[in-house]
Chains A and B, each alone.
Chain A
Amino acid sequence: MRDAQIFLEASRLANSALKGVHFVQIARNKGRSPSASRIEKIDDGIKLLERVLATLEAREKQETVSSEALSILYAISQGRLLAGSSVLKQTVANSIGELERFKRGDTETIEEAEELLEIIAGSTAEEATKASAKVRIFMMEAR
């Protein structure tokens, strides 16, 4: 149950950031300035990726890790080819930089970050569904 909730929260944050990215892209494509609230949504994604990055680093130093980030690392590893820790750290760091530049309007397209957030949102939602299915069986039996 708790697993499902953690996966769900990670999916919610990644999805919220993607909504921000797409709203901003649509506004800019129309030559309009995006509203501040849309740009703020992108911060959800930046914060989430920063937690993943911090957890990858904390794991090496035996420091406190984010359980949300651990769940993300597990979710994105399931059924997918996951690079080693150093390559993954580089991908996450690049994505954070890309989102920051996109927010400021220094770049119009984002590729690495959008793909990473989509993988996080999709895979954590999938794991949340799997974990919820276990709760469903438990509840059926418990009743």
Chain B
Amino acid sequence: MKYLHLILSALFRRKTRTIFTLLSVLAAFLLFGLLDSVRSAFASAGNDIAGVDRLITVSRISFTLSLPKSLLDRIAATPGVAEVSYANWFGGIYQDPKNFFANEAVAPNFLDLYPEWQLSAAEREAFRKTRTGTVVGERLASQFHWKLGDKIPLEATIFPQKGGSNTWTFDLVGIFHEIDPKQKDEEQVLFFNWDYFDEARAFGNGDVGWYVSRVSDRKLAGRVAQAIDTLSADSDHETKTQTEQAFQASFISQFGDIGMIVAFIMGAVFFTLVLLTGNTMAQAVRERIPELAVLKTIGFSNRSVLLLLLSESILLIVLGGAAGLALAGVAVSALSANIGGALPMLPVGADIWLRGLALMLLIGLVVGSLPARRGMRLRIVDALAGR
């Protein structure tokens, strides 16, 4: 620590060069922060802590096929199931197909299974009582500037109404918010009453898209899932029951290997960064050879010179990298507030910072090692003589 001043003054010996290098490092880590935020959003989609005790039951053939409602009572009677609810995918469009968000018809007790979505008792009650009522997530409401009492028309893509009309109009009676800041993407959804939906739709009446059940003991989840699937075994509507985590993880994995794409891009970025800062550090050491010789002359050991130079390169990367990650944090919160569901992103939190810092230290060491060794091996006589 006592040498910090020395390191800093060495670093800013050539201000322009250091600042340009810092800005390059900043750009690299800004990109790292943004991409890692997206990557971890995809990776954590199946890791919602709140979802561990929920099971999702869909048709074994394909989750796009519906199931009979008669399964409800039988699932409820399965030992280990504490509560069961159901829902249907509606797939409605608000104004323009570009405004994509999930909208689902849900059973009266559906929201009870999701305690992480907070909805006031009054709004919960209003949703139960209003036939055409709808509840949306806070982020979705702010994206379209909806407020309580608004009428929200959706164009059906799958389910026309009995009269043949494709337009379903709902009354906004509640706005919920997700308590886990990492799962704010779950606010990108609209719910309405299944009973109204089932009464008004032209076909498919009595069919349910999927069941969601809460198990009384999460350790028994696997066994309960099997028991549920046994209910419909060998019937013509066999089911597949998974934990919510597993269900989401398998869905997300279908978008493609996001981790690999991010790794490829960051590989290219960090490779060029190492070369760029490596060059800067090499220049910096080359220019300072006589100074380093003086340091050694007045008693700095080879090891201290090595450590000084290494710290200098690490500091260079950490300064630029930290600024880049901080900027990424600002950018992510601005982006997710504005484009919302278009691209899932996690806030730049402790885990991304830790990974980032580890990378900074590593790159700092790699970049500094060659110039620092050169500084360490310097022979005073040669260096002072300019040989």
A complexed with B: no
Residues of A within 8 A of B (CB): none
